[in-house]
Amino acid sequence: MDALITAELAKLDPSVPFRATKSHLHHTWAKTFYSRPELYIQPESVAEIEKVITLARRCRRRIVTVGSGHSPSDLTCTSSWVVNLDNYRRVLSFSRDTGVVTVESGIRLRQLGIELEKNGLMLPNLGSIDEQSIAGVISTGTHGSSLKYGLLSERVLGLSIMLANGQVVRCSEATNPSLFRAALVSLGAIGIITEMTLQAVPTFNIAWQQSLKTLPQVLDTWDSGLWTSTEYVRVWWMPYMKRAIVWRADKTDLPTRDPPASWYGGALGYFIYHNLLYLSNYVPRILPWVEWFVFGMQYGFTPGKTITEAVQPARTGLLMDCLYSQFVNEWALPLEKGPEAITRLSAWFHGDEETARIPFSSESVWVHCPIEVRVSDTSISKTPRPYLDSTYPDGPTLFLNATLYRPYLRDPPCRERYYEAFEWLMRDLGGKPHWAKNFGEDLGYEALREMYGDNLDQWLQARNEADPDGMFLGAWHRRHLLPPSTAASQSPGQTLAFEEQLKEQRVLGAPGAGDGIEWIGTIPGCTPHGNGDMEDGANAAGSHPSPPTTSASEESFDHLAKGEASITLP
């Protein structure tokens, strides 16, 4: 281990474990990005998290908190320290009467759902998967598909977050409301969320059905029942056939009834589809035929002829199989803009430039299907709105997700131009990107300031107060969120104490890594030789004694980032 880290670690309480390993290869779930952190740390208690932060502060190491890695961008990449909370996952308390549950932040949604279900409770709004940590779901603005709900963060009554000085601050609508609104979509840039209090509801089943529709049928009913016919609705659009699968679900008291076996849910269909996608990387023109064949086998070839039904516990029935590694580029639009967005994008796929009005050619661009279409409505919520909430405050929101599979981890050839055209259209219609997905590297502070207005500046202010030296601030955050004058430094000529610069991106080239990119950054506090000596201030960093133990704070967090603090929760 680095000499400075070893020396500083020796000054801290040896009874608190420091569970760190070297030589860890971090990657996103989709294996789109890889990085080799100096240390990979898996704390199991608040005291251990505090020790990690104290040591990182003294050694000037940046911290990235990682859950499942389902965000396919380089948001979680670092050459510094990765903190994974998979072993920090207990249910701390719950009430069957009120439905209020408090959990440690590393618990995965699946485990939380199982634990809640044992006590007759559940979360009523889920995204497409349940593999993420609860902190990751909240921090990136995850949503489901229902006009009765908004973001999953609406269920959060309060949370505790450990700041860069080791101080735990509790926040809620009533206590530290500014920090609360910033932390609800924190993007990992404020601190480490340690626990969360959620509002659950009694468990229920859903009865769902799905059927094939023509695209005109979908657009004709857009404002007359498509999204309001049942509590949960989602659509998968097949662009070349101009058809869509409409999935609807409602709460029910009926007994469970499993869905019939699906074609690509079986081993043979899964294998065939995967290999057809792989073949299309070399012969892209087959993709319209692949769409017709695969989704015909899965959902039927004739609109309205095949209706699939099931009754399932909502905890599992609201989920879907994401199949293969993928790029995902999802944007939020006002729901009323949906027909125009789909009509123009459909025209672009089919070479109708006059209708599409997109200044990029679709010639020789062949894309994957489906395009996922979902909705939410945060305008009806009475809970605090996160500063970086991408939904629209005055009415329902539409989400369009342009998914591109990576068969056998190989990138599809259409990605660059398809996403260029897709993002141009989304921005033309007033859209906002999903924080956890892939969107253009050129989308920076000025563009996001137009989308979020003062909310972005309020988020930045809360972030800077909580973490003034940038312990939790990475290259991704600086690229997209910081004003140009501070993207590389806190002020002209002054570098953030924990600033990590992107040094290189290259294809990893390891067996089984496909086209995955290795992200390589600089490590603050290390000399070019990597011997761990501080470039400056080493003696000052090493002079701090181990901090005394205090209790968690419920005071204003504005000045808590100054000095060191240690905590024990009651």
- Predicted confidence (pLDDT) at residue 544 exceeds the cutoff of 60: no
pLDDT of residue 141: 97
The whole-model pTM stands at 0.92
Judge contact between 155 and 89, C-beta under 8 A.
no
Residues 6 or more apart in contact with residue 400 via CB below 8 angstroms = 330, 331, 333, 338, 341, 342, 345, 371, 372, 373, 426, 431
- Predicted confidence (pLDDT) at residue 543 exceeds the cutoff of 50: no
Task: Give the separation between CA 254 and CA 250, rounded to whole angstroms.
Answer: 11
Write the burial class of residue 10 (CB in 10 Å: 0-12 exposed, 13-18 middle, 19+ buried).
exposed
Strand 63-66 versus strand 81-84 pairing type: parallel
Residues 6 or more apart in contact with residue 233 via CB below 8 angstroms = 145, 146, 147, 226, 227, 246, 247, 248, 249, 375
Judge contact between 525 and 542, C-beta under 8 A.
no
pLDDT of residue 567: 35
Task: Give the separation between CA 205 and CA 202, rounded to whole angstroms.
Answer: 10
Q: What is the pLDDT of residues 464-507, one digit of tens each?
A: 999 999 999 999 999 999 998 765 444 433 456 788 989 999 99
Is the peptide bond between 43 and the residue preceding it cis, with omega within 30 degrees of 0? no
Record the tokens describing residue 165, joined without a space.
Answer: 């000085």
At residue 252, what are phi and psi to the nearest 5 degrees? Answer: -155, 155
Strand 81-84 versus strand 156-162 pairing type: unpaired
Q: What is the mean pLDDT of residues 185-194?
A: 98
Task: Give the separation between CA 488 and CA 504, rounded to whole angstroms.
Answer: 16
- Predicted confidence (pLDDT) at residue 551 exceeds the cutoff of 50: no
pLDDT of residue 223: 96
Chain-centroid distance of CA 130 in Å reads 12
Residues 6 or more apart in contact with residue 104 via CB below 8 angstroms = 85, 88, 89, 90, 91, 92, 194, 195
Judge contact between 223 and 178, C-beta under 8 A.
no
Torsion of CA 453, 454, 460, 465, to 10 degrees: 180
Residues 6 or more apart in contact with residue 264 via CB below 8 angstroms = 270, 272, 273, 294, 297, 298, 323
- Predicted confidence (pLDDT) at residue 411 exceeds the cutoff of 50: yes
pLDDT band per the 50, 70, 90 thresholds, residue 564: low
Question: Among residues 179, 140, 82, 54, which one has the least CA distance to residue 466?
Answer: 179
Q: What is the pLDDT of residues 60-80, one digit of tens each?
A: 999 999 999 999 999 999 999
Range with the lowest mean pLDDT among 118-132, 448-462, 478-492? 478-492
- Predicted confidence (pLDDT) at residue 547 exceeds the cutoff of 50: no
Residues 6 or more apart in contact with residue 97 via CB below 8 angstroms = none
Question: DSSP readout, 156-193?
Answer: EEEEEEE-TTS-EEEEESSSSHHHHHHHTT-TT-S-EE
β-partners of residue 12 are: none
Task: Give the separation between CA 338 and CA 399, rounded to whole angstroms.
Answer: 9
pLDDT of residue 265: 87
pLDDT band per the 50, 70, 90 thresholds, residue 546: very low
Quote the Cα angle for 68-465-179, to 5°: 60
Domains of the chain: 3-86+449-481 (3.30.43.10), 91-202 (3.30.465.10), 205-440 (3.40.462.10)
- Predicted confidence (pLDDT) at residue 269 exceeds the cutoff of 90: yes
Judge contact between 136 and 67, C-beta under 8 A.
yes
Collect contacts of 537-542 with beta carbons under 8 A, ≥24 apart. Answer: 537/60, 538/4, 541/8, 541/58, 541/59, 541/60, 542/4, 542/7, 542/8, 542/11, 542/58
β-partners of residue 506 are: 518
pLDDT of residue 526: 67
pLDDT of residue 541: 36
Judge contact between 199 and 155, C-beta under 8 A.
yes
Range with the lowest mean pLDDT among 156-165, 374-383, 524-533, 550-559? 550-559
pLDDT of residue 487: 56
What is the percentage of the chain residues whose pLDDT exceeds 70?
A: 90
Task: Give the separation between CA 404 and CA 342, rounded to whole angstroms.
Answer: 17
H or E, element range at 518: strand 517-521
Record the tokens describing residue 289, joined without a space.
Answer: 């035929």
Strand 192-199 versus strand 156-162 pairing type: antiparallel
- Predicted confidence (pLDDT) at residue 376 exceeds the cutoff of 80: yes
Record the tokens describing residue 459, joined without a space.
Answer: 């988020």
Write the burial class of residue 250 (CB in 10 Å: 0-12 exposed, 13-18 middle, 19+ buried).
middle
Q: What is the pLDDT of residues 92-105, one digit of tens each?
A: 999 999 999 999 99
Record the tokens describing residue 286, joined without a space.
Answer: 């087959």
What is the percentage of the chain residues whose pLDDT exceeds 90?
A: 87
Q: How high is the mean pLDDT of the chain?
A: 91
- Predicted confidence (pLDDT) at residue 453 exceeds the cutoff of 80: yes
pLDDT band per the 50, 70, 90 thresholds, residue 532: very low
Between 565 and 456, residue with greater pLDDT: 456
Task: Give the separation between CA 62 and CA 298, rounded to whole angstroms.
Answer: 46
- Predicted confidence (pLDDT) at residue 5 exceeds the cutoff of 60: yes
Q: At what angle do helices 267-280 and 287-299 cross, to 10 degrees?
A: 170
pLDDT of residue 162: 99
Between 570 and 25, residue with greater pLDDT: 25
b/e burial code for range 105-115 (CB count within 10 A of at least 16 → b): bbbbbbbbbeb
pLDDT of residue 1: 86
pLDDT band per the 50, 70, 90 thresholds, residue 525: low
Q: What is the mean pLDDT of residues 444-472?
A: 97
Question: Among residues 165, 97, 160, which one has the least CA distance to residue 134?
Answer: 160
Chain-centroid distance of CA 23 in Å reads 25
Task: Give the separation between CA 239 and CA 244, rounded to whole angstroms.
Answer: 8
b/e burial code for range 505-516 (CB count within 10 A of at least 16 → b): eeebeeeebbbb
